[in-house]
Amino acid sequence: MARPYEDDLRRKILEAHDRGEGPLPQLAKVFGVSVAWAWKISAARKRTGQAERVRHAPGRKRKVDEAAELEVLIWFEEQPDLTIDEVRARLAERLQISVARSAVGRLLDRLQLHRKNRLPRAGAGDGSEPETAHRASGTDQPDRPDAADLPR
């Protein structure tokens, strides 16, 4: 891909035009650029107010800015076991930012916060239930007696 012209060339053409050294088509020939490019940079300066090239920032702009990220950090300091859906609800309710669950996941990854996907079930993981043999063995099927052990 061709490289863009440097900003100093842009400035030189525009300054020469401002000093009245000639119309843009004539200046384009003097500086060895196309007439279309000379018109383009002149229009861009009128639009942006600057002679330098405006850098392109590709991609969609993030909805959650730095201020919102700080707010999320505060929420996690107060309540470290927030779920993705709870963070998403708070963003919508308190900051009027509507984002998808996946966007909240990326936000938490970027902030290096641990997250929970869903609320804990009642009694899950509190040690009150004894672990069954099929859970301990890592299989999905409970232990079954052999055919020889069954009464005939």
Lowest mean pLDDT among 80-84, 123-127, 148-152: 123-127
Per the prediction, the chain carries an average pLDDT of 82
Predicted local confidence at residue 139, as pLDDT: 56
Higher local confidence (pLDDT), 141 or 44:
44
Structural domain boundaries in the chain: 7-48, 66-110
Q: What's the gap between Cα 94 and its chain centre?
A: 20
Q: How confident is residue 48, by pLDDT bands cut at 50, 70 and 90? A: confident
Architecture of domain 7-48: Orthogonal Bundle (1.10)
C-beta of residue 109 within 8 angstroms of C-beta of residue 72: no
A 10 A CB-CB count for 24 gives 19
Higher local confidence (pLDDT), 14 or 148:
14
65-96 pLDDT per residue, tens: 999 999 999 999 999 889 999 999 999 999 99
Q: What does residue 43 show for φ and ψ, rounded to 5 degrees?
A: -65, -40
Count of alpha carbons within 13 angstroms of residue 65, beta-carbon side = 3
Share of the chain residues as helix, strand and coil, in percent rounded to the nearest 5: 50, 0, 50
Closest CA to 98 of 109, 106, 87: 87
Predicted local confidence at residue 53, as pLDDT: 85
- Given a cut of 70, is residue 150 above it in pLDDT? no
Retrieve residue 25's tokens. Answer: 């088509």
Higher local confidence (pLDDT), 60 or 141:
60
C-beta of residue 105 within 8 angstroms of C-beta of residue 140: no
